[in-house]
């Protein structure tokens, strides 16, 4: 119990002027939604869905001087499986190792140790994740998905802010 409680705690990692924190309360929804709604994988996602997904996942924010520059979330049962999603570093801060550090913090998180499977989906960042042991599916014929990329258009959520 006490071990579980300890690892439930907000994690904070520091490097130079940057902080990575799992404190949901620190997240800037304007930054996270602003990026995701323009991203190739979640285009048009409504703000309220981003807020709901944040509420129900383990979130990592990258900050400097109180402003947020990066994000990732992990969906997990904290026992056997974790899915990494919505990873980004704002363009102004790319190419200086923040994405790799973010992945490092995720993989070292105390609640995400000893899992049987991790997964993620990427268009072109395979080289980033390969550095943390990710590979292409070894048996793609065993995996199934139900993918609905147009879901935000069909539900009429659109951009109804």
Ligand X SMILES: CC(C)(COP(=O)(O)OP(=O)(O)OC[C@H]1O[C@@H](n2cnc3c(N)ncnc32)[C@H](O)[C@@H]1OP(=O)(O)O)[C@@H](O)C(=O)NCCC(=O)NCCS
Write out the residues near ligand X by the rule CB under 6 A: 87-89, 94-100, 122, 124-125, 127-128
For residue 23, the minimal CB distance to ligand X (Å) is: 20
For residue 2, the minimal CB distance to ligand X (Å) is: 35
Q: Which is nearer to ligand X, 103 or 112 (CB)?
A: 103
Q: Which is nearer to ligand X, 10 or 121 (CB)?
A: 121
Place of tokens 């790319």: 94
Q: How far apart are CA 73 and CA 122, in angstroms?
A: 14
For residue 65, the minimal CB distance to ligand X (Å) is: 17
Q: Which is nearer to ligand X, 78 or 101 (CB)?
A: 101
For residue 137, the minimal CB distance to ligand X (Å) is: 15
Per-residue burial over 147-158, b if 16 or more Cβ lie within 10 Å, else e, is eeeeebeeeeee
Whole-angstrom CA distances from 35 to 29, 78, 87, 95 are 10, 27, 10, 17
Reduced to 3 states, what is the DSSP secondary structure of residue 135?
Answer: coil
- Helix axis angle, 29-36 to 47-55, nearest 10°: 120
Q: Which is nearer to ligand X, 7 or 132 (CB)?
A: 132
16 φ/ψ sector (left φ>0, alpha ψ -120 to 50, else beta)? left
For residue 76, the minimal CB distance to ligand X (Å) is: 17
Q: Which is nearer to ligand X, 42 or 49 (CB)?
A: 42
Which position's Cβ is nearest ligand X?
Answer: 99
């Amino acid at each position: 119990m006490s071990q579980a409680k300890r690892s439930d705690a907000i994690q904070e990692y520091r490097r130079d002027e940057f902080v990575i924190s799992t404190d949901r309360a620190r997240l800037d929804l304007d930054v996270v939604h602003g990026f995701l709604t323009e991203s190739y994988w979640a285009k048009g996602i409504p703000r309220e869905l981003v807020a709901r997904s944040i509420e129900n996942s383990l979130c990592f924010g990258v900050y400097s001087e109180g402003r947020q520059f990066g994000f990732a979330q992990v969906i997990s049962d904290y026992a056997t499986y974790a899915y990494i999603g919505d990873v980004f570093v704002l363009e102004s801060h790319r190419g200086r190792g923040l994405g790799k550090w973010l992945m490092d913090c995720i993989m070292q998180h105390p609640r995400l140790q000893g899992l049987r499977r991790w997964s993620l989906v990427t268009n072109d960042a395979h080289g980033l994740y390969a550095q943390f042991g990710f590979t292409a599916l070894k048996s793609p014929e065993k995996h199934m998905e139900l993918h609905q990329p147009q879901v935000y258009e069909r539900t009429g959520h659109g951009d109804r802010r």
